[in-house]
């Protein structure tokens, strides 16, 4: 039989599976479990790699489901201590810089599954057992249930369900709306916090140095967030330019007025 599509033909609009996907997954799994968090040294990275591949190979890449990832999620399960969860929305780099310094805190990418999958792309095909390195579907292909989107929705939901105590979120106050209901944070995470476990959501609205101050704790998008959280019987607090995170921004702009006086 001829291949379904000629070599190099781009079936989908997104970039294909990250080159060496399987090796990267295995390598990151070992780095995380042996070096970053040795308390997880007994995890079976071979099995985790196998479960990750099985979650999407030989399947329609526009019909990925939460169930596809259940075996992977179970193998990689990890307990995050109360008061240590950090969510973010449009502030990935800054949030990660902060948790790199505050090593007791966890973003999703500081957990095993998030660490393994961060910035990777992957998909397969229902008609073959191979990895598609040519192209992967995205929302532009009218395919919101693609393996990568479904993965982040599924693990974000689980990350939020598991959170307890006081949880944090780093938001971008230089955007028109620091809180966006359509983001993973607004669409998935806040709705999956358990009011019986999560006492407070603490928001840190960070403004880019030298950037515009579009949105702050007193803006309408943050009022929206506050009302969603309060209705769920979780306490909401908000701080503009939370100092410990502001200091990280100041490392790159030490001479900026907001970094030299009264911050």
Interface residues toward ligand N1C, by CB under 6 A: 87-90, 92, 108-109, 114, 118, 148, 152, 156, 159, 183-185, 189
Whether the CB-CB separation of 231 and 225 falls below 8 Å is answered with no
Closest contact distance (angstroms) between CB of 7 and ligand N1C is: 28
In the structure encoding, which two tokens stand for residue 205, read together?
């609205």
Asked about 45 being catalytic, the answer comes back as no
Report the alpha-carbon distance of residue 165 to residue 49 in Å, rounded.
Answer: 32
Report the alpha-carbon distance of residue 239 to residue 175 in Å, rounded.
Answer: 16
Closest to ligand N1C by CB, 189 vs 215, is 189
Asked about 164 being catalytic, the answer comes back as yes
Residue 262, SS3? coil
Closest contact distance (angstroms) between CB of 108 and ligand N1C is: 3
Closest to ligand N1C by CB, 70 vs 183, is 183
Q: Strand pairing partners for 87? A: 169
Catalytic residue among 29, 45, 123, 164, which?
164
Residue found by looking up tokens 């008609």 in the block: 127
Report the alpha-carbon distance of residue 91 to residue 258 in Å, rounded.
Answer: 19
Closest contact distance (angstroms) between CB of 5 and ligand N1C is: 25
Closest to ligand N1C by CB, 17 vs 156, is 156
Residues known to be catalytic? 82, 164
């Amino acid at each position: 039989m001829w291949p379904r599509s000629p070599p190099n033909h781009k079936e989908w609009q997104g970039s294909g599976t990250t080159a060496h996907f399987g090796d990267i997954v295995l390598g990151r799994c070992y780095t995380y479990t042996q070096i970053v968090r040795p308390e997880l040294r007994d995890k079976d990275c071979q099995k985790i790699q196998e479960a990750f591949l099985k979650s999407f190979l030989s399947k329609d890449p526009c019909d990925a489901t939460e169930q596809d990832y259940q075996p992977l999620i179970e193998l990689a399960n990890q307990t995050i201590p109360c008061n240590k969860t950090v969510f973010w929305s449009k502030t990935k780099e800054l949030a990660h810089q902060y948790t790199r310094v505050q090593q007791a805190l966890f973003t999703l990418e500081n957990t095993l599954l998030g660490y393994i999958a961060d910035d990777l792309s992957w998909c397969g095909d229902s008609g073959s057992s191979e990895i598609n390195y040519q192209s992967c579907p995205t929302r532009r292909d009218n395919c919101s249930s693609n393996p990568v989107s479904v993965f982040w929705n599924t693990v974000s939901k689980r990350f939020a369900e598991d959170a307890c105590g006081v949880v944090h979120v780093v938001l971008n106050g230089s955007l028109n709306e620091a809180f966006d209901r359509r983001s993973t944070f607004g669409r998935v995470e806040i709705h999956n916090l358990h009011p019986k476990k999560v006492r407070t959501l603490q928001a840190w609205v960070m403004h880019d140095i030298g950037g515009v101050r579009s949105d702050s704790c007193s803006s309408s998008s943050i009022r929206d967030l506050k009302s969603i959280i309060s209705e769920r019987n979780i306490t909401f607090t908000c701080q503009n330019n939370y100092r410990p995170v502001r200091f990280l921004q100041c490392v790159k702009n030490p001479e900026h007025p907001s970094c030299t006086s009264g911050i």
